[in-house]
């Protein structure tokens, strides 16, 4: 069986890369205001925590797609194969068995 070459996620990389640049530029252009609110403490602790979640999603997606575009991708591991086998076994057992119902 021949392997079909996977399409590189260039568009995704550019999208998330663009969003990442916008986020970082905004942060540094407005850094004084950001620091003023983010270091107030108390309930304002939610601001840095929410921000790192947002940045890790946007910038993390950009970084992940970047490695794919430059051709550095994971090999299929033995553990992945084992996991897929377990899933297909589970699917097989989940399927309802045909039953013969006799009305007496």
Partner 1 sequence: MHEVANFIDLNLIMIIYLFLVGFVGGLVSGFIGSGGAFVLTPGMMSLGVPGAVAVASNMCHKFPKALVGAIKRYKYGQVDIKLGLIMAVSATVGVQIGIQIQHAILARWGQSGSNLYVSLAFVLILVTVGGYVFRDARKCARSGGVEVVSALAKKLQKIHLPPMIYFKTADVKISLWLTIPVGLATGMLAATIAVGGFIGVPGMIYVIGTSSLIASASELVIAFVMGLGGSINWGFHGLIDIRLTLIILAGSLFGVQLGAIGTTYVKDHMIKVVMGTIMLMVAVSRALAIPKYLNELDVIQMDPAVISLMTQTSFVIMVTALLVGTVIILVGIWKGRKAEKKDRLLHAPPIPETASH
| Interacting residues toward partner 1 by CB under 8 A | 2, 24, 27-28, 31, 34-35, 38-42, 44-49, 51-53, 55-56, 59-60, 63-64, 66-67, 72-77, 79-80, 82-83
Q: Is residue 58 within 8 Å of 19, Cβ to Cβ?
A: yes
Burial of 65 (C-beta count, 10 Å sphere; 0-12/13-18/19+):
buried
> Which 3 state secondary structure label does DSSP give 4?
coil
Closer CB to partner 1, residue 73 or residue 99?
A: 73
Phi-psi map region of 90: left, alpha, beta (phi>0 left; psi -120 to 50 alpha)? alpha
Q: How far is the CB of 60 from partner 1 (least distance, A)?
A: 4
Residue 98 CB, nearest distance to partner 1 (Å)? 30
- Report d(CA 24, CA 54) in Å as an integer: 11
Q: Which of 25, 24, 46, 26 is nearest to 37 (CA)?
A: 46
CB of 10 to partner 1, least distance (A): 17
Q: Which is nearer to partner 1, 11 or 50 (CB)?
A: 50
Min CB(46)–partner 1 separation in Å: 8
The smaller minimum CB distance to partner 1, of residues 88 and 104, is found at 88
């Amino acid at each position: 069986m021949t392997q079909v070459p996977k399409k590189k996620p260039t568009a995704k990389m550019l999208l998330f890369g663009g969003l990442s640049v916008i986020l970082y530029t905004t942060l540094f252009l407005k850094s004084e205001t950001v620091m003023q609110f983010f270091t107030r403490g108390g309930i304002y602790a939610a601001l840095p925590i929410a921000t790192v979640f947002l940045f890790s999603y946007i910038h993390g997606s950009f970084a992940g797609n970047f490695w794919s575009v430059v051709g550095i991708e994971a090999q299929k591991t033995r553990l992945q194969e084992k996991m897929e086998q377990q899933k297909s076994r589970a699917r097989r057992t989940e399927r309802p068995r045909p039953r013969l119902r006799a009305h007496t």
